[in-house]
């Protein structure tokens, strides 16, 4: 089980309700569900990955009392990999996916959602330090951290011979 699920279970009920409401709203009237058609790490889909990352970032903010725009933190994290293609396909442009997908995800999220400044900052800079510009917001820094934690856990989990 991904640690993000355990984190969400430990959120206070009102915070868990908020997370579920924002996830429901983000999935509605958008191409969010298309992310389930693509693998991100191991056997985790891009949609599952984005949900894990949003849960983890939100858990860290709540647990450590970090002052953030909670709605923006959750939604920005849910949309941070909204690039909508299979980056494992052998195509020349996918060789630099790590560097280019934040910009693509941001352009598509901007097309489909009314993004706040904080959410744009989060999506555009979530690959820092691979991409040189760091996020300027606390929400963006939390996303960078949560994304790396989840990516590591999903990749390792995908390679484990036995799972629980």
Task: Name the β-bridge partners of 121.
Answer: none
- Computed on alpha carbons and rounded to an integer, the radius of gyration of the chain in Å comes to 15
Nearer Cβ to Fe ion (139/147): 147
CB of 50 to Fe ion, least distance (A): 7
19's CB contacts (< 8 A; 6+ apart) are 8, 11, 54, 55, 58, 74
Nearer Cβ to Fe ion (48/81): 81
- HSE on the CB side for 48, CA within 13 Å? 19
Nearer Cβ to Fe ion (17/98): 98
Nearer Cβ to Fe ion (13/132): 132
CB of 56 to Fe ion, least distance (A): 11
Nearer Cβ to Fe ion (81/121): 81
Quickly list DSSP for 48-93: HHHHHHHHHHHHHHHHTT----HHHHHHHHHTTTTT-S-TTS--GG
What is the number of helices (H) and of strands (E) in the chain? 7, 2
Please give the residue ranges that form the binding site for Fe ion (CB under 5 A).
81, 147
CB of 30 to Fe ion, least distance (A): 18
Contact of 83 with 38, CB cutoff 8 Å = no
CB of 53 to Fe ion, least distance (A): 6
CB of 147 to Fe ion, least distance (A): 4
């Amino acid at each position: 089980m991904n640690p993000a699920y355990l984190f969400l279970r430990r959120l206070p009920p009102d915070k868990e309700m908020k997370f579920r409401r924002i996830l429901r709203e983000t999935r509605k009237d958008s191409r969010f569900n298309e992310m389930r058609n693509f693998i991100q790490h191991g056997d985790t889909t891009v949609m599952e990955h984005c949900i894990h990352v949003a849960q983890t970032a939100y858990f860290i903010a709540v647990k450590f009392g970090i002052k953030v725009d909670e709605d923006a933190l959750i939604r920005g994290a849910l949309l941070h990999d909204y690039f909508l293609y299979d980056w494992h396909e052998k195509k020349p442009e996918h060789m630099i996916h790590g560097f280019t997908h934040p910009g693509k995800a941001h352009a598509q999220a901007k097309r489909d959602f009314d993004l706040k400044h904080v959410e744009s900052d989060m999506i555009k800079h979530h690959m820092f330090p691979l991409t040189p510009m760091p996020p300027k917001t606390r929400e963006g820094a939390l996303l960078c951290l949560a994304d790396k934690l989840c990516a590591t856990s999903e990749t390792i989990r995908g390679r484990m011979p036995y799972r629980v």
